[in-house]
Structure 1
Amino acid sequence: MASFTNRALGYLAGILTALLEAGYLVAGGIVLGPAMLWPRTRPAAVRRFLAGVRWLTGLELRRRSRFFGDVFPADRDERKTLPYLAARLTTGLLSGVVVGLLGFGVVLVVLLTRGVIRGSVGIWELLAQVLLGGVLLFLDVQGIIALAALDGRLARRYFGPSERELLKRRIAELSTSRAGIVRAVDRERQRIERDLHDGVQQRLVALAMLLGRARRHRDPVEAGRLLEQAHRASEEVLVELREVAWRAYPSALDNLGLPEALAGVAERAGIPVRIDLDLPARLPRPVETATYFVVSEAVTNAVKHSGATAIAVVIGHGRGRVHARITDDGGGGADPAGSGLSGLGLRVAALDGELFVSSPPGGPTEITVEIPCE
């Protein structure tokens, strides 16, 4: 969503473009009007006139996109350009009048203040002026708000997608996101199964063999040595089992919160990981979980594949969204379509969030995540 400053600048820019459009329509009518009345020259004159209308319409739509964040289809209906410009011209000129009245009111406030300072304005006259000015200011501000909303509605009515198209698009996004989440969960289950089969299970088999050899051995010294090896192997199995459980879902995330869970990620990384969190309160559980797994996976990938020597994690909250940025000084070349990053993207997309990856050859790699969080 655009900031208040951007919207204010866009509103003022709309007044300037309305003046430009009014000048073009008047000049075009004067210059091309006679040619448009003559049958032989009418087609060429109309084409030239409509070319300017299309350019001005494109300028208006770019203004809406730049300052208000509106998105319009690239293949717009050219037949709608002239009706839109005529309606938009009225809105823009009215906006200019309202803003002009606001400026006139500011001048009157300055004059009234000077009168109060000089003592030429009495108390009753001052109260009457303040009351009248407050009412006019309220009406003026309401007029600005209404005209700004009307300006947006006109652009969306003529060139924006309809509510039905938006609903279809949203249904398609949700269907894609759901299918992607199912694939991501399946991949995660396969990874856990591989960790258990190739790691924990093999170690347990080796532990069982050591215990069997110790039980069958007749030499007490050798049996004691085998039992000591089995004890160390059992400790290693416990460590690896805790690692698998942590990667599946860290209990610290529920018990201690995101800062402690990420501190555990930094401790196990093996390289320096600087974590900077600026969160006002505990995040909702789905947002907190998604943020944790994004950071954990990004740090793990950087340690394994990038050759990084340092990683920086910055997480903050603003404008109703959680922002997370993970940067490493490795060699770059991370593939956003790879199974790890694509799975994270699907996890984030399920919460209507976005994941961006910048990893040019030679580095650095920067992964940015934004998740809505009211």
Structure 2
Amino acid sequence: MLRRWTRIPVAVAAGAVTGAAELLFLLVAGLVVMFPLVRGQVAGAARWIADQERRRLAWARSEPAPPPLRSAGPRVFGYLAARALPALLGGLVTALLVTGVALAGIVVRSVLAGTMTVPGLLGQVLLGITLLTLNLQGFVTVAGLDRRLARALLESSTREELERRIGELAASRAEVVAAVDVERQRIERDLHDGLQQRLVALGMLLGRARRSPDPERTRALLDQAHADAQRAVEEMREVAWRVYPSALAHSSLDEVLAMVAQRSAVPVRIDLAPHPRPGRPAETALYFVACEAVTNTAKHGAATVITIAVGPNATGVEMVITDDGVGGADPDGSGLHGLARRVAALDGRFEVRSPPGEGTTIRVELPCG
């Protein structure tokens, strides 16, 4: 409570100062906005100022800082203009507080000089407490007005937020269905082109061994068939791992990533920082991202080393995969786009940076819920 009653007056007084600065900013912005080259800078500056005001209001209430604004539309400039009212009121209550402190100093000096009687002192103390209470209530009212303006002009309304969320979920559901269909087609292709052909060849070897009259020839054919059966089992295991990493059922994500590194044709360096373990769907998504990134780099990246870094971030866990290859990866390609859909379905973020000649960096952020 003491912290709150200390922070609110400080935040309101600071808001009075920033309000005057914002009016000056709006005046300058109105003069230079006619030049197309500086419109982006002006909008970015307005968004930054509004973010600082929201941080100030959150600090006054001992709340965590809100996320940065995504855009600087007319609402941001409207908010900066509307802040003139709470800034003016904040300046008035701050001036009243300073005046009260000065009057309290005069009373103290009179008491020390012996020129004030006891009844007069009691009357001044009662009056001072009353005025201080009203003054502090004025600070709370101004802070509440400032906060309501920020909510009304900067934050989306409940209906708008629900409509946006419904749109995101509908798009995500459609993309997940499409991703499942693509995954099924890939599994069917892997089984048809790989495992099925190997089993057909295995059947032909066994048939030749069965018909061979030469025991040595039969033994050689059976040895070859046994080796092909072992390779078929390995291919079946690879296909099953691409469907779902069963090792996550009894191992951590770190151990499964180590298995991915062991099977990679390109050296993989794993950098693990202590992090909260995400849920099983999030771990599965991170596994598929790592597998796809390692496979793509081995096929097309011409890299000498891949680095997989996993650690905590503000919302949960973050994975960053980098390589020193040729870059130029297409984020809209079927593989990476499918991973982006998988991550988006879990309310995560998926970013790809792959300038030609500078390698590829994939960043994934997932909540730990």
TM-score, normalised relative to structure 1: 0.71
User: Structure 2: how far apart are the matches of 1:77 and 1:338?
Assistant: 36
Distance in 2 between residues matched to 1:297 and 1:11, nearest whole Å: 52
Amino acid across the alignment from 1:201: Q
8 A Cα contact 2:202 2:229, kept in partner: yes
1:180-229 CA-to-partner distances (Å, cap 9, x unmatched) read 11111111111111111100000000000000010011111111111111
Q: Which of 303, 309, 314 lines up with 2:298 in the alignment? A: 303
Residues 72 and 159 in structure 1, CA contact (< 8 A), matched pair in contact too: no
Q: How many positions carry a matched residue from both structures?
A: 307
Question: Which consecutive unaligned segments of at least 5 residues does structure 2 have?
Answer: 1-10, 34-38, 56-65, 102-131
Which residue matches 1:63? 49
Distance 2:28 2:301 in 1: 58
The amino acid that maps onto 1:70 is L
1:343 aligns with 2:343: no
1:311-342 CA distance string (max 9 Å, x none): 11111113232111000000000000000110
Which residue does the alignment assign to 1:184?
179
Mapped partners of 2:92, 2:196: distance in 1: 78
The residue number in structure 2 matching 1:4 is none
SS at match of 1:233: helix
1:227 pairs with 2:222? yes
The aligned counterpart of 1:19 is: 20
Identity within the alignment, %? 51
Give the whole-Å Cα distance in 2 for the aligned partners of 1:202 and 1:304: 22
1:332 aligns with 2:320: no
SS in 1 for 2:362: strand
CA–CA separation in structure 2 for the residues paired with 1:365 and 1:150: 48
| SS of residue matched to 1:347 | helix
Query: Does residue 90 of structure 1 match 2:91?
Result: no
Output the TM-score relative to the length of structure 2.
0.71
Aligned residue for 1:370?
365
Aligned-residue offset at 1:71: 3.6
Distance in 2 (CA, whole Å) between partners of 1:188 and 1:11 is 56
| Secondary structure of residue in 1 paired with 2:83 | helix
Residues 149 and 234 (structure 1), Cα distance of their counterparts in 2 relative to 1, 3 Å cut? farther
CA contact (8 A) 1:71 1:160 kept: no
Pairwise CA RMSD: 3.9
Query: How has the CA–CA distance of structure 1 residues 333 and 280 changed in structure 2, closer, same or farther, with 3 Å as cutoff?
Result: closer
- Residue aligning to 1:174: 169
Seen in structure 2, the aligned counterparts of structure 1 residues 208 and 370 have a Cα distance that, compared at 3 Å, is same
Deviation at 1:279, TM superposition (A): 3.4
Q: CA deviation at 1:172?
A: 0.8
Aligned position for 1:74:
73
Partner SS state of residue 271, structure 1: coil
Alpha-carbon separation, structure 2, partners of 1:50 and 1:214:
87
Question: Shift of residue 162 of structure 1?
Answer: 2.6
In the alignment, is residue 206 of structure 1 matched against residue 201 of structure 2? yes
Task: Name the amino acid aligned to 2:73.
Answer: A
